[in-house]
Structure 1
Amino acid sequence: MTPNARISAAIALLDALESAPRRPADAVANDFFRARRFIGGGDRRAVADRAWGVVRERARLDWHLDHVGAAPTGRLLMAAHMMLVEGGGLAGVEAAFNGGQYAEGPLSGDERRLLAKIEGRPYLHPRMDEATRLNLPEWALPGLRARFGEALPEAAAGLEGSAPLDLRVNLLRTTRDAAAQALAAEGIPTTPTPLSPWGLRVADRRPVLATQAFADGLIEIQDEGSQLIALLADARPGMKVADYCAGAAGKTLAMAATMGNRGRIAALDVSAPRLTGAAKRLRRAGVDNAETHLLEAGDRWVKRRAATFDRVLVDAPCTGTGTWRRNPDARLRTTLSDYDELITKQRAILDRAASLVRPGGKLIYATCSVLPGEDEEQVRDFLGHHADFTAVPLAEAWAEAGMDGSPPGQGQHMALAPHSHGTDGFFAAVLRRQA
C-alpha cells in the first residue's frame, strides 16, 4: 500500500470504530482487517498505528475541532492529527487527500476552511481545560488526582505513552535464560524484567505469537505488573487455589508454575468463551492441576466449597484505567455510570469469593485500575464488613511470597503505574483470614 492508501484505510477504520462506540476497538479492528485480507501484515500494522494514534489523542483533537465548529469525522480527525500531532501543514493534508488511486478524495471547501482555522494553533492550547490537556476523562479526574496528587501530569503522560511487550516464562517447561535464548534464535531479542523473576521484555513489536517458543508453551504474553499479582498470591505446591475471575487464565497459568503443577487450581469465570480459551492455554502450557468452572445464576459451586481454599485470587472487573496506554479507546468508551456499576459489582464479587477462603488462608484482591474507589476504598469497605480478615502489609506479603529485595512501593497494598514502575497500572491487596 502507498502511504496515502494507508491513510485512507486508517480513516475507514476510524469510521468503523465510530459506528460501534461500545465495542472494544481491538474487536472492531479484527473484523475490519478480516474483511480486507488483501491488506498485508506490514500494511495492517501501519494502518492500525495511524488509527490508534488518532484514538490516543481523540479528546484533544475533538477539542480543537469543536472550537472551529467542526464535527469529528474520520477525515477531519486524521487531518487534524497530521497537522497538530505530526507537525504537518494543510498543504501536506491536501497532498495526501488527492483523490488518486486508493487515496482519500480531495478536501471539500468546508473541510479546507475548517482545517485552515486549526493550522498554526498550539496543540496543547492554553484555553484547554485540565482534563483535556492531560488527556483524561472528566469523570475520572477526581480519583486520579486523589491517587497521584502533584504527580498527576506525569502519571497522565505515562497512561498515554506506548507500552512494552512483556512475556512471562513458563517455568513448568523452561527457564528464563533458556526462553530468552530460544526467542533470540527466532530473531526476537529480550531483556529480563526488573521486578518479576519470570518476565522478559521485548523492546518493540515483534510477532511473538508466531514463534515456536510460544507454540511450545515456553512463554505467555503478560504485563509484568500482572505477573507480580500472581506472585503475591503465594500459591505453593499442594495448595488448593481459586482464581475467581480467571478470564483467559493468565494468572492461573502463573500460579500453576509457582505450585509446580502440584495441588489444585479452580479457574472460575462467568464467560464460557473465556473459559474455553483458558482451557486451550492451560493445555499448551502443560498445566494439569487446573480445572475450569462456569459460574452461573443459581450455581451452588461456591456455597458447597466454602472455607476450603488456601488462596483465592479475585482479579475483579474494573474500568481498566491502568491499561489505557494499551487500550486507548477505553478512556473514550468508559463512563461514570460504568464506574458506578463496577463498584457495586466488585463489592458483590469480593464478598462471594471471600467465603471460599479457609481460616488462615489468603484472599488477594486485584484490579487493573488506578482509581482509589476501585482499589483501596473497596478493601477498606470489605474489611469494615469482615472482621475475620486483616490486611497483610505489602512488605510482609512480598517476603512471604519468597521475593528478594524491597517490594514496588510502601504501605499496605501494591499500587503500580506506568510512570513510576514501567508496568501497566495495577492494584493488589493481600488479606488474611484469621485462623
Structure 2
Amino acid sequence: MSKGKKTVREAALDVLESVEKNQSYSNLLLNHAIEKYGIKGPDTGLLTELTYGTIQRRMTLDFYLAPFINKKIESWVRQLLRLSLYQMIYLDKIPDRAVLFEAVEIGKRRGHKGIASMINGILRSIQRKGVAAIESIEDPVERLAIETSHPQWLVKRWTEQFGIEKTREMCETNITAPHQSARVNTLRITVDELIDRLTEEGLTVQKSSIVPNAIISLKGNLAKTAAFKDGLLTIQDESSMLVGHSLDVHEDFTVLDSCAAPGGKTTHIAQLMEGKGKVFALDLHKHKIKLINENASRLGLGNIESKAHDSRRAGELFAAESFDRILVDAPCSGLGVLRRKPDIKYTKKESDLESLQTIQLQILEAVSPLLKKGGLLVYSTCTVDRNENQGTVKEFLDGNKEFQPFPLTHLPETVQPFVEGNMLQVFPQDFGGDGFFISCFKKDS
C-alpha cells in the first residue's frame, strides 16, 4: 500500500478516534479524510456509512461488546471493535469474514500480533454466541436509551416533555440517514429547469412536498455539482427553510439576521426579497462572516451586508426601530440535528441547556428595541427542547409587554398541521426534516 493511502476502514477508524479524542465534528473530519486519503466513488459512501453508523449506534454497540471485553483496552481498539461489530450487525452487504479479516489486519498494523489475536477472538465469540437482548433491560427509559443510542438523561427529559411514544419515534428517526435537500436560487433558474440540469449531471432529484422552491436528492451529492458551483442552489434543510418564510418579508424591507452564519437563512431572506431591500447579517466570529460573504457572492445576492459583532451588543451598530423584521436564530443545543451531527449526543450535558437559555434571552432583549413598531420578530432554534423553545418564548413575552404572539398562518399550507398559534415545533419524524422550532411576535404599533 502506498504511503498515505489507507483502506476505507482505516480512514473510518481515524475519524472515529478524532471525534472521540478531540470532540471534533464528524462531518468536518470526514471531508478532511476523503481529501487526505484520496477516497473516491463508492468508497466515499462506504466511509460515510461506516463513520456515521458507528457513531449513531455507539451506545448499542458498547452494550453488545461489554460481555466480551474483560480487560482495559486502548481507545483505538475499542473503536475498531465498534466499527467491525457495526458492519456485522447492520450492514448486510459485507460478509463477516471480510470484516474479521480487515479488523485483524488493522490490528496487526496499528498494534501487534497479540492485539490482532484478541480482536479476532472477541469478534469470533460474538459471531458464535450472538449479542445480548436489549429487551432484557427492565427500565423503559434505559432500554430506549441503549436501543437507540441516546444518553439516558436526554431520553428521560424528552419522555417527561413529550411522552414515551413520541420520544421513541424521535430517537428511532435520529439513527436513520437524513436526506439532502437544497433551496433553488429562483433569481437565476426555475425549479423545473434546475431538476433538468441536475438530471443531466447524473443526479436523481425531486421537488420537496413541504417547502416551495426546494428539491431533494435521491441519488448524488448536490454540493458537488456544477449547478451548486454556479450558484443555482444552496444546501439547506427543509425545516430550516421555513424560517425564511416565517418572516413574511417584502422587497423594500430592512431586515436583521442577528446570528447569521453560515448564511443559509440570510441568503434565503435576501432571495425572498428578490435581491432588493437590505439584509444585515451579524455573527460573533470573523471566519464565519467569510462563509456568509462567500455564500452571498456565489448566489449573486448583492443586498446582504455582514459584520462580525456580538448580537447582544447590536444596539452599538443600529439605531432603535431600524428594522422591519428581525430574526434571532439563536445558539441552541442542536438536539434537532442529531441525524446530521450524531456526535452532539455524547458531548452535551443537561446543564448546557440551562446556560443556553440565558444567552437566547440576552439576544432577544438586545435586538428587540431595534424593531420598528408593527414589525415582526422571529425566534428560531434547531432543537426540540421545551425549555429552550417554549420556555424562552414565555420568558421573553412575560418581560416585554409591547410584543404580542403573531400567528404563523403565513407559513406553507403543508406545515400548518404542526403550527400552534405563533409557534411551530417540527420533530425529525414529522416529514424527515431536522427538528426545528419557530416562534413569531409582533411589536405593538
Confirm or deny a common fold (TM above 0.5). Answer: yes
Matched, 1:80 2:85: yes
- AA of the residue aligned to 2:186: L
Aligned residue pair count = 425
Between the aligned partners of 2:62 and 2:223, the Cα distance in structure 1 is 35
> 164, 169, 194: which one pairs with 2:209?
194
Hey, what does 2:429 align to over in structure 1?
Answer: 419
Between the aligned partners of 2:15 and 2:257, the Cα distance in structure 1 is 36
| Unaligned runs of at least 5 residues, structure 2 | none
Q: CA deviation at 1:357?
A: 1.4
Change (3 A) 1:408 1:18: same
Task: Specify the SS of the correspondent of 1:323.
Answer: coil
Q: CA deviation at 1:115?
A: 3.8
Change (3 A) 1:285 1:260: same
Q: Is the 8 A contact 1:90 1:115 kept in 2?
A: no
Deviations 1:403-423 (A, max 9, x none): 456624131311112211221
Matched, 1:138 2:139: no
- RMSD of aligned Cα (Å): 2.7
Deviations 1:321-347 (A, max 9, x none): 111111111112222233232222112
Q: Is the 8 A contact 1:190 1:202 kept in 2?
A: yes
Hey, what does 1:251 align to over in structure 2?
Answer: 265
Matched, 1:95 2:107: no
Hey, what does 1:184 align to over in structure 2?
Answer: 199
Deviations 1:188-235 (A, max 9, x none): 23111112111011113x232332221221111111111111111111
Q: CA deviation at 1:371?
A: 1.1
Q: Is the 8 A contact 1:237 1:259 kept in 2?
A: yes
Matched, 1:432 2:442: yes
Hey, what does 1:61 align to over in structure 2?
Answer: 61
Task: Specify the SS of the correspondent of 1:40.
Answer: coil
Q: CA deviation at 1:376?
A: 1.0
User: Where in structure 2 are the equivalents of 1:312-327 lying within 5 Å?
Assistant: 312-327=326-341
Q: Is the 8 A contact 2:34 2:40 kept in 1?
A: no
Matched, 1:239 2:253: yes
Task: Specify the SS of the correspondent of 1:203.
Answer: strand
Change (3 A) 1:244 1:298: closer
Hey, what does 2:17 align to over in structure 1?
Answer: 15
Hey, what does 2:167 align to over in structure 1?
Answer: 152
- AA of the residue aligned to 2:233: I
Matched, 1:170 2:185: yes
Deviations 1:86-133 (A, max 9, x none): 478975543333439998776644434444554412464522633222
Between the aligned partners of 2:339 and 2:250, the Cα distance in structure 1 is 33
Task: Specify the SS of the correspondent of 1:322.
Answer: coil
Structure 1 length-normalised TM: 0.89
User: Where in structure 2 are the equivalents of 1:300-379 lying within 5 Å?
Assistant: 301-302=315-316, 304-379=318-393
Q: CA deviation at 1:55?
A: 0.7
Deviations 1:42-76 (A, max 9, x none): 43332232122111111111223334446562221
Change (3 A) 1:29 1:191: closer
Deviations 1:291-320 (A, max 9, x none): 001114995655642222111011111111
Between the aligned partners of 1:238 and 1:102, the Cα distance in structure 2 is 66
Between the aligned partners of 2:356 and 2:160, the Cα distance in structure 1 is 19
Bigger Cα displacement from structure 2, 123-132 vs 252-261: 123-132
- AA of the residue aligned to 1:152: T
Hey, what does 2:419 align to over in structure 1?
Answer: 410
> 285, 295, 312: which one pairs with 2:309?
295
User: Where in structure 2 are the equivalents of 1:201-220 lying within 5 Å?
Assistant: 201-204=216-219, 206-220=220-234
Change (3 A) 1:129 1:117: farther
Task: Specify the SS of the correspondent of 2:287.
Answer: helix
- AA of the residue aligned to 1:188: L
- AA of the residue aligned to 2:432: G
Task: Specify the SS of the correspondent of 1:361.
Answer: strand
Identify, as 1 or 2, the structure richer in helix.
2
